[in-house]
Structure formats: C-alpha cells, structure tokens
Structure 1
Amino acid sequence: MAKLKELIRPEDITTCDSTRQMIHKARKDGVELFFDRAENMRPCPIGNDSACCKHCSMGPCRMNTKDPYARVGVCGATIDTIVARNFGRMVAAGTAAHTDHGMAMLDLFRGVIDGTVKDFAIKDTVKLVEVASSLDIETEGRSVQDIATDLYKELELTYTQVDGEIPLVKRVPEKTLESWRQEGIVPRGAMREIMEMMHRSAMGVDQDYENITKQISRTALADGWGGSMVSTDISDILFGTPSPVEVEVDMGVLKEDQVNIIVHGHEPILLEAMLVSAASPSILKMATDAGAKGINLVGMCCSGLDVLSRHGLPHAGNFSSTEAVLVSGAVDAMTVDIQCIKQDLVKVSECYDTAFITTNYRAKIEGATHIELDEHDPLECTDNVIIKAIGRFKNRSKSIVIPSHTAKGIHGFSHEYIKYMLGGSFRSGYEPLNDNIVNGRIRGAAGVVGCTNPRSKQDFSHVELVKELIKNDVLVVQTGCSQMALAKAGLTTPGAAALAGSGLAEVCETVGIPPVLGLGSCVDNSRILMILSEMVKTGGLGDSIADLPVAGCAPEWMSEKAIAIGQYFVASGVFTVFGHTFPITEGTKFEKHLFEELEGKGFGKWGFAADPIEMAHLMIAHIDKKRRDLGIDQARERVLVDMADRRAL
C-alpha cells in the first residue's frame, strides 16, 4: 500500500459500517483501497473548475480561476468557450455510455425477435404493447412477433436517425416539446448528436457558449428520452417490469458456507444469465461436492440494482464499496461487464485470491481473466464463471471476515407500478399523487440519484439530504448508487414514514409505501422522466415539466454519465442540484447561463451546494416557488368523503 502522510480515519471516510470495517481490515492486511488513493491524489484546482483546455497541441491552456477573464487561450478561446466545451464533452461521453448500453439491449432484443438468441425471450408482453402503442405502432389483433419487429425498427431510429425527431419524444408533454422545438434542441438521433457535440467542441469550431449549450442540451436529451429510455423499456420487455419486492442489502448478505459471486456493472444480461447458470442441477452439484451449501449470487452497483428490482436478489453495496467487499475474503469470484469498474479491483482481488473476471468485449482490464459473454450462448460464459468460483471456494486460504450488518427494504417501483398502486386495477393513474400535491399533504417530489465519490464521506450526503426532504413532506424517488445508500440506512421500508412530515407520512401509511421509492439503476432515470410526464398529462400541476413542484439532486456525483443525466433533467424542465463540486468556473457568463438563464427559456436550471441540508433547502425553496406559481401554496381544507362522494367518483 502506498504510504500516506497520515491515514484518514475510516469513520471520516464513510457512514457505511460494513465498508468502515473492511477499510480497517484492508489496512491491517496492507491492501490499498481507492479511499487511500484519493487522499494521495489531490485534484488539480484548475481542472476542478474546468478551466483547462487541452483540445489541441498549442496548449494545454490553463486559465486564471480567480479572475477568469484575465486572459484567453493561445487560440483566443475565452473561459466561457473553454468551460462550455469541456462541459459538452462530459455530456457527450455520458450520453455515449448510456446510449451504447441501450444499443446492446436493442441488439439483444433483435436477436430474440429473429430467433438467433435462444436463452432469452419476451417476458412482458403487456409492456411490449404499451411501448409500441406509445409510438403509434398498431397492436390490435397483431402477433407479439409482428409488434416486436415493428418496435425494434422504430427504436433503432433513436440511434441511427440523422434528421427529424427521435421516436420517444412522443411521450414528452406538448408544452415541454414546444419549448425544445423553439430552442432547436429536439434530438435527431443519438449517434448524430454525440458526433456533432464532439465536433463543435473541437478547437476552432463553435465558440459561442450559448450556442454550445443548445447542442449540450440536445445531446443530453438523446440520452434521457433516447438511449436510457430504450434500455429501460427493452429490459422490462425481456426480463419483466419491476414491481415491489423486499430485498436484503449490505455486505452481511455474503455467506461463509456458500460460493459467493459478486456481479458488478450495468448491463442486466450478465446477471440474468448468471441466475440461469446458478440454478443448473449440474452446477449446483459441483458446488455441493466442493462442500458448499449453495451458490450465493450477489449484485453490486447498477446491474445489481436492475436484478434486485426484478428478482429480489441481495445487493452488497454501491460504487464506493466494490473494493472493500473483496477484503472480506468471502468473495469467490467478482465478475463485471461495463461502467464504474475500478481498474484496481484486479489487484485487490489478487490480494484475496478472488477470481476477477471481465465478460464484455468493450471493457477488458489488464491482468483480469476474460471470459467473453456472447448473447447467443451466454451460459457458456456464466457456467465457466461459476465453475471458477467453486474452485476458489474449495481452495479458500484467506481468513474470512464478513460484516454482520444487513438491512431490508422495498424496491422495484417502476412508473407503471406507481400508477397501479395509486389507483388499483380499475382506476390506476397519477390523480391521487397530483391531488395530494395540490392539497398539500405532499409538498412536492424529488429525484435523488447518482454515484458515491471518495471526495465525499460515503453515503452521508444522500442520507442526510433525503431525511431533510421527507421531513418536509417531499416524496423521494431514487436510482443508482444513491438507492443503496438509503437502503443501508433503512429508509426504503414503510416504517421510514415515521421520519416523514405528517402529510407525507399519512399518504405513505395509507398506500403502504416507503417515503423513498427505489426505481432501479442509473439508466432507469428514464422512469423518473415518465413519472414527470404522467404528472403533467394527469393535470392540475401545470402544462409542462417545468411547471411541476419537483427538483432533482446528485449529491455525490462522480462520472460523466451524471453530468449527462443532470443536463437532460435541466433541459426537460427540472431544477437540478449537484453536490461536492461542479465542473465550472465561478463568475463566468456560462455559469450564469446554466444556473439562471435557462429557466427563462422554459427549461430547468442547475444548482450547487456542498452541504446536504443546504441542497435540501434549495430544492424545497424551488418546490415552494412552483407551488406559488400554480396557486397551490395554501393547503386546502380537508373534506371527509362519504359513500355518495365515492360513487360520484
């Protein structure tokens, strides 16, 4: 382990008891984790403010962040041009990540339709018909095969179309879409938008920060209402649309007497295939012959959240815990696919004799074992992964220390299920949600999403922010690593309503839900977009997403994907707050454009705060402003409803 001047106390690094315990053990074992590397690698102050341009060989040009207009780059680029270009490239990279993920799901869907993929099938025909109908595809009296074929062709345009509007904008509220059209930011096709964003941000091309921002928004919208939404819809169609399920989380889900396999990454294909392999009688016999009582599949990060929502599979933790879980010595194999995978997982795995296996051709890691997953024969990969894990179990030599903490919570709240749970089979819809926002029992809604980051105390901002929001009657929906932070803290159980304000608590107790609704992985932020769209279409809360008393936050964001997500929410009309840092130079015209001027164009706007309570109150203040604008800032008198009133309904 690299020598530190003074090791940070684990208690100052994370609020997660299991991770804290594993940090102590790793240090005793002489194993370096990413928390230690973060302390050794201090961020560049100029890069932190995005005030550095390295897009050509005349630089890199470092700007003066204290007086951002004191000088320009060698080519004459101003600080606004430089920061806008850097921001745009982050959005392009994040959009590419989600879009490529969605394209992989679409490829799998095509294979299922044409019969070349045999191990997966269309599982949710209701969702298939709903998605097809939303895109004006005829479904009445047609076969599943024909509907699916037409749907594939339509969704493919999300990526390949070079002109026109991507198909899924048909779901966007009319007034919101009108704002996009007026500004010229309706996405054409994801590939074209990403390509144009990269071109515009090259040296000597687009040098007007407002014009660059238009392409930033158009690229981001190709993610939220394109690549990410396609991924979510296809995952639901093939693997089933989530509905609430009780799940056990945290590192205590590891079992000393079982073969423990961690599946980490983002595409659900790997873990879905692992479930099939782990249920094979011949594989199970291998495990029992090796002395194991069974095979324990455990998810981590977003692929784990995806399968957690559908199958109730246990989940060990979020991004910041992916190295720490290996320190337990109980992990017999960690297998990964794409995104948010630390390269040093290879070294940590070696320290504990854990098999570390990459499976995706796009994401090999030096020193890792690579067993490629072919969607046409996925079990060949997943069978081999489990066999390697069984071999490690049989020859375990490292001491095993499994943290004892676990927490149970309710997860799997797809927007379809929220619609059902609010009104039942006969009157499903968002009327009860909208009505309770209008009458003031629910103040508004907030999406709290995103990563964890070693520059922040793990999980702290997520938990404190959400506690403050629900205390003030704000209903919270979640995706990604944030969901695990709240699950470990016990905030995803119906009993957590005791921490909510009286109005929100009453609604939660009536419906039987937690005040925090977990929607899945980071691409499933598209479910939040659908919820917002449904709220507008239901009526009573304005005509566009920008009218709604809602806000979003990523308190510990880490990746470029988070910036793309934030921008597509801002462009859709949502006030979006980021924490711990923001890639922008303060006092610039570009900052003012993002943080103030976009709202005047009918969009949302960005916000920033380092403290979670401050984040919460920025969001609450915005929600209250929207309530005033709608004329619902005064709580309505409560009226008892008798049977005659119910019949009238």
Structure 2
Amino acid sequence: MINNLPEAQKIVKNRMLDRADQETAIKAMDDGVETVWDRFADQQPQCGFGNLGVCCNRCAMGPCRTEPFGKKPTRGVCGAEADLIVARNLLDDLTTGAAAHSDHGREVVEAMLATAEGRAQGYQIHDEGKLHVVATEYGIKTAGRKKEEIASELARALLEEYGTLKNRIQMAERAPQKTKDAWKKAGIVPRSVDREIVEAMHRIHMGVDSDYTNILLHAMRTALSDGWGGSMMGTDASDILFGTPTPLKAWINLATISRDKVNIILHGHNPVLSDMIVKAAADPGMVKRAKDAGAAGINLAGMCCTGNELLMRRGIPLAGSFFDQELVIATGAIEAMVIDYQCIFPAITQTAGCYHTKVVTTSRKAKIPGSIYKEFRPENAYDTAKEIIGLAIDNFPNRNPDRVRIPEKPMQLMSGFSEEAIRKALGGTYKPLIDAIVAGKIKGAVGIVGCNNPKIKQDYGHVTLAKELIKRDILVVETGCAAIACGKAGLLIPEAADMAGPGLKSVCNALGIPPVLHMGSCVDCSRILVLAANIAKELNVGISDLPLGGAAPEWYSQKAISIGTYFVASGVYTVLGIAPKIFGSKNVVNLLAAQLNGVVNATFAIEPDPVKAADLLEAEINRKRKALGI
C-alpha cells in the first residue's frame, strides 16, 4: 500500500506525461508491481564505458574497453581502437534493427503468398488496386488475371528481394533520381535485404573490416535495405492483405479498457496475428460464449505498433504505447495479453502473475517463460484465434473486481493517413501541398518517430516537439509510439489545429485534418519515405532538397537506429533526443554529425531538449526553403 500519496503522485508525474498513465502507475505502485521505471532506477549508475560505445565483446579474447580520457588501455587485445569499436557496435545495433523490421516484412509477404495460394485460413486480398500498382512496378501483368494469381507472382518477387542476384531492390527505384545518384556515388545502393544484413555481421567479426568510415557506409546501405526494402515491402503487403488505411476516428489511452467485457490486449507488431483475432472476436459464437461467462461482450484494444495497425485499418481502440504494457495489466481488468514479437518486456509474465491476466505468445521467435504458447500460422489462423479468445473468455470469471481500477475519459484521435490517403485528400496530386509550402502557409514537414525511453519522461519529448513544430507552421507526420503519445495528448484531432500557427491552421481547417498526421506503425516509416520521394519527383529534385526533417525524441531500440539512418541516408536531417553510444569516438561523431553532408546531403544531430530540437529543425527547414528560393 502507498503510505505517502503526494510523494507517489510526484514520482509518477516525473515519469510520464499522460494523466491516465499516471493514475494507473499509482495503482501499480499501490499493488507493489514493478515496472520499467523501477528497473531503470535499479540499474543506476549505468556503465559509462557502455554509454560511450567503447566496450567490445566481439570475441573470446575480450571483453575489452578503451579508455576515453587518454589513459591506458587505448586498444583492445586485437588492437582495435575506439573508432573501430564504436563503429562496429553501432553497425551491430543497426543491423539488429534492420533485421527485425525486415523479418517482420518477410512474414507478411509469406502470409500474402499463402493467401494467394489458398493455404491461409480466413485471409483475403483486400486492396486489389494497390496490388495492381505494386505488381506493375515489378513488371507483372495484371490485365485479365485473378487477384490471387497476381498476388502469388508479386509475393514471390518480393521474397526474392531478400536474397536477389540482381544487386538492386526494386522498391528503391521509388526514390528520386538525385537521391539514387547520391547513393550510387557513395557506394551504398542497397542490393538485397539479407545480403546487407549478412555482410554487416561479417564485417564486424574480429579481423575483418577495421576502417570505421567503411563500416559506417555499410551501415547506411544496410539501413536503406530496410527502409526501401524489408519495411516498405511489409507495409505494402499489409496494405494489400488488410487494406490501405484511410482516415477514421477512434479512441486511445488506458480508459479504452472495459469494465464489463472480456478485455484482450493485442501487443507487438505483426498484423497477420492481430487482424485475424479481430475477425474471430466478431464471431457470434464467441460473443455468446463471452456473455454466457457473465461478460457484456468482448473488448479488443491494441498496444504498441500492433495497436497502430489495428487502429488504422479497423478503428480498434489503442490502449497505449511501449511503456504502457505493464500499466494496462495493472488496471486489473485484462483477461489476456496476446503478443507476437518486438518491444515486449521479458518481465511481462511477472507483471501478469500479480493479477489474473494470461499472457499468450504466438511466435516461435518470441517465447517467454510463464506464458501460454499458441503457435500462430496462416494455415490455421482462424481456429487459433478463436482458441485464444476462448482462453480469455474462460479467464473472465477469475477477475477480482476489488483490484480493478480503470482510468476515465479516453481521448479521441484521427488515424489512417497513408501516403495514398494524403494524396487523395489533396485531390490526387501533391500540388496543393507544394503550393502551401511555397506560399509559406506550411514551412515544411517533420517526421517524428520512435519509442519511449526511461531516460526521458514518457511522451514528453514527442508531445513537446510536436507542439513546438506545429506552432511554427511545420506539419508533423508520425508513426509508432510517437504517434500514440500525440494521440493521448489530443494532437491527432482536427481541433488540435487551434494549437498550430495561422498558416498550418488554415490548411488543416480547409482539409478537416489534424496538424499531426498518424501514418502508421514503426514499420510504416517507409510511408514517409514514399511521401517525400513523390513530392521530390514532382519538383524534379532530391529528397535532400526538400524542407523536411526527422526526429526521434525518445528512441530506445535498434530498429530506431536503422530508421534514423535510412532517413539520413535518404537525405533527411534527423535529430535524436537520446544520445547513441558513439561518444567514445570523436571521429565517428564527426562523421555522423558533419561529414555525411558531403555524402548524402544530410546529417544527424543530438538534442535532448525538444524545444531546442524544434529550433534545429526549423533552422534546417528555413535553410532548405532559402536554397529552393521560397
């Protein structure tokens, strides 16, 4: 029990921005439940060598470290100095992130192939129009053919991109010519997804690549194979299978949990699992079973990027972001949390053990001790989904009403701004947006992406930066947990235009849209690339010429390193709110923060203060506007 409520309130206000999160965090403290913030506090002080990136565990001669302050040791056992150790560690992290997103993409493409060939239970091709568009890019004939036949050939072509012999990824051809020329000159044109990932792991093996510049150039190539390859294929295949998102309104935050229904949280990243559970939950037989168990029905709520996928296409309420996964269980009202992979705390089963909640794992790649494992495959997807829902229904009578505390007042938001939806809203062309930018009504645009990190107050970086940018007439587009943060803060509704500058406000009011556009899950950062590429091609310039910026105020994961790098490699100046582990090497810092300008016409910057980050981004946008003569 909490003995000092004012002190508990002070603690949670320093940990998180959202009111519903704060309320539930106090309940978790009262229940004696450990959360990510408690474990972060227990880890202090964290390893200074690790934070600088100068620890090396590449081989059994180590672990080694170099002394960043000019004292011995200055080399590892093999002779590696700080520049090499930092660069190898960065490439290692980036490659892990690229592999995670790209493997996600592979699974969606495999599900599309199984659907096309009649081997997937309950799935169908939803967006035939996008199927034809993407198939045409791959030279696949569409006239007079069934959609399943086209989808089968396209899926096989996409799967070939993972290990192709042609030394180029077709989707990278979507980039404007000037951008592709910069890649070619730098030698970073992505050749295939798996090749770049395998070569990256080869390069960081002891005794292979010892040139930090060469390592970091390959890091950009690997990131491009993710952004313009694996992630982009995952997004397009998801759109074809489940439908391309269009604007819709829904609800967000922990208040979306129901007091009288069976609550099932869908957490992770892959829509192949979650979309089928949505379908099975609507089955009249499952609804009747829930009512027979004493519930008023079944309530599904999303979490993290699985939540974004369901929100965009199905309007399913979104309970919260990465850091909300323990808090949602602490409401005491969750019958089951169903997960696939990525951004899931290994401690989640321990949290669930404090309540009646069952954790259901579904992927062979992501098993957690203490969970119930129900392998999910397209071949028996619908049956497995019903089995999982049945497990949750059977658990409903075990809920203890005395331990339930659900916040009130969910926040409304508008989501579903795919690149296609934005273009359609503009009348099928980007000219109205370009005209608004030329006229100065909109100065430019910034993509805010990324996660939560206990080193910064949850959601503060995302929300503060977004508010600062829209106030300065800069349009914001978002994905992942950044979009969830701004949704909880009320920035994803058309009425939020009142917080924007006069120019952006007038454009938003005319179109009936928010000043912050939710473009999808973290894999959907590729939508931002396509949006930027299409505008650049309409103007016959490179992406680096556009008044654009990128930001990741609260990033934590290796995926975010890949995302930030493919933004920069594509020509987008990107500001990070959390310092990467590179400051043990002045040369690596200088390369990423300055010298890349001469390679890809963009760099990284690091600024933990979101207001100062907005200053940097606005200055870059104004510089690009001046260069364009506007």
The alignment's TM-score, normalised by the length of structure 1, stands at: 0.94
Partner of 2:76: 73
Q: In the TM superposition, what whole-angstrom CA distance separates every residue of 1:29-85 from its partner, at most 9, and x where no partner exists?
A: 111111111111122111111111110122222222334997222211121111110
User: In structure 2, how many angstroms separate the alpha carbons of the residues matched to 1:26 and 1:254?
Assistant: 16
Q: Which secondary structure state, in structure 1, belongs to the residue aligned with residue 379 of structure 2?
A: coil
Pick from 17, 20, 26: which aligns with 2:19?
17
- Which of residues 391, 401, 404 in structure 2 aligns to 1:400? 404
Aligned to 1:582: 580
2:252 maps to 1:254:
no
Q: Matched residue of 2:306: which SS?
A: helix
Mapped to 2, the partners of 1:99 and 1:162 lie a distance apart of 18
Aligned partners of 2:42, 2:114: CA distance in 1, in Å?
Answer: 47
Cα distance in 1 between the residues matched to 2:243 and 2:77 = 54
Rounded Cα–Cα distance in structure 2 between residues aligned with 1:363 and 1:495: 40
Could you tell me which amino acid in structure 2 is paired with residue 612 of structure 1? P
CA distance in structure 1 between the partners assigned to 2:299 and 2:444 by the alignment: 40
- Give the direction of change, closer, same or farther, for the CA distance of 1:68–1:380 in structure 2 (3 Å limit): farther
What pairs up with 1:349-360 in 2 under 5 angstroms?
349-360=352-363
- Whether the aligned pair in 1 keeps the contact of 2:17 and 2:460 (CA below 8 Å) is yes
Aligned partner of 1:543 among 541, 544, 551: 541
Paired residues of 1:224 and 1:525 also in contact (CA < 8 A): yes
Contact 2:303–2:325 (8 Å) recurs in 1: yes
State which drifts further: 199-208 or 142-151. 142-151
Supply the AA of the counterpart residue of 2:410. T
State the shift of 1:130 in Å.
1.1
* Unaligned ranges ≥5, structure 1: 633-649
Please give the alpha-carbon distance, in whole angstroms, between the structure 1 residues aligned to 2:600 and 2:140.
Answer: 31
**Aligned residue for 2:317?**
314
Counterpart CA distance in 2 for 1:475 and 1:24 is 35
Q: Which of 236, 239, 244 is the equivalent residue of 1:236?
A: 239
Aligned to 1:411: 415
Q: 1:571 aligns with which of 552, 569, 573?
A: 569
Aligned-residue offset at 1:163: 4.5
Measured against aligned partners, the alpha-carbon deviations of 1:330-358 in whole angstroms (never above 9, x if no partner) come to 11111100000001110111101111111
2:273 paired residue number: 270
Looking at structure 2, the residues matched to 214 and 110 of structure 1 have their Cα atoms a distance apart, in angstroms, of 34
Equivalent residue number for residue 645 of structure 1: none
The 5 Å alignment of 1:23-422 reads: 23-42=25-44, 43-67=46-70, 71-397=74-400, 399-422=403-426
1:220 Cα offset (Å): 0.5
Q: Is contact 1:358-1:368 (8 Å) kept?
A: yes
Deviates more, 1:160-169 or 1:359-368: 160-169
CA distance in 2, matches of 1:447, 1:417: 17
Q: Residue type of the partner of 1:212?
A: I
Q: Provide, for residues 303-355 of structure 1, a one-character-per-residue CA deviation record: whole Å limited to 9, x for no partner.
A: 11001000110000000111011111011111100000001110111101111
Q: Shift of residue 581 of structure 1?
A: 2.3
Which structure 2 residue ranges, 5 or more long, are not aligned? 2-6
Retained in 1: the 8 A contact 2:83–2:585?
no
* SS of corresponding position for 2:575: strand
Structure 2: distance between partners of 1:439 and 1:525: 27
Larger mean CA deviation between 391-400 and 554-563 belongs to 391-400
Please tell me whether the aligned partners of residues 95 and 219 of structure 1 are also in contact (alpha carbons under 8 angstroms): yes
What residue number does 1:562 align with? 560
Of the three residues 572, 590, 593, the one matched with 1:592 is 590
- In the alignment, is the contact (CA less than 8 A) between 2:116 and 2:149 conserved in 1? no
Matched, 1:608 2:606: yes
The count of residues paired between Structure 1 and Structure 2 equals: 622
Partner of 2:359, secondary structure, is strand
Q: How far 1:246 sits from its partner (Å)?
A: 0.2
CA distance in 2, matches of 1:228, 1:619: 25
Q: Does 1:527 align with 2:527?
A: yes
Q: How many angstroms does 1:293 deviate by?
A: 0.9
Secondary structure of the residue aligned to 1:525 is helix
Contact 2:82 2:584 in 1 (8 A): no
TM-score normalized with structure 2 length: 0.96
3-state SS of 1:376 partner = helix
Say whether the 8 Å CA contact 1:134–1:171 is kept in structure 2.
no
Distance 2:288 2:450 in 1: 40
Please say if residues 302 and 308 of structure 2, whose CA atoms lie closer than 8 Å, have aligned partners that are also in contact.
yes
Letter aligned with residue 28 of structure 1: D
C-alpha distance in structure 2 between counterparts of 1:217 and 1:346, whole Å: 37
Q: Which amino acid aligns with 1:411?
A: S
- Write the distance in 1 (CA, Å) between the matches of 2:199 and 2:375: 32
Q: Distance in 2 between matches of 1:304 and 1:602?
A: 34
Q: Which amino acid aligns with 2:121?
A: K
Q: Which residue of 2 aligns with 1:443?
A: 443
Q: Is the 8 A contact 2:125 2:148 kept in 1?
A: no
8 A contact 1:68–1:588 mirrored in 2? no
What is the CA–CA distance in structure 1 between the aligned matches of 2:584 and 2:34, rounded to whole Å?
Answer: 35
Contact kept, 8 Å, 1:134 with 1:170, in 2: the verdict is no
In structure 2, C-alpha distance between the alignment counterparts of 1:67 and 1:469, rounded to whole Å: 41
- 8 Å CA contact 1:68–1:585 kept in 2: the answer is no
**C-alpha spacing 1:68/1:80, structure 2 compared with 1 (3 Å):** farther
Residue type of the alignment partner of 2:496: A
Q: CA deviation at 1:146?
A: 3.3
Displacement of 1:603 after TM fit? 3.4
Taking only the aligned residue pairs, the percentage that are identical comes to 45
Is contact 1:265-1:336 (8 Å) kept? Answer: yes
Aligned to 2:4: none
* C-alpha separation in 2, matches of 1:163 and 1:68: 49
Q: Conserved in 1, the CA contact under 8 Å of 2:419 and 2:530?
A: yes
Q: Which moved more, 1:352-361 or 1:552-561?
A: 352-361
Deviation sequence 1:89-116 (CA, Å, 0-9, x none): 1111001001110110111011011111
In 2: Cα distance, 1:355 partner to 1:228 partner: 31
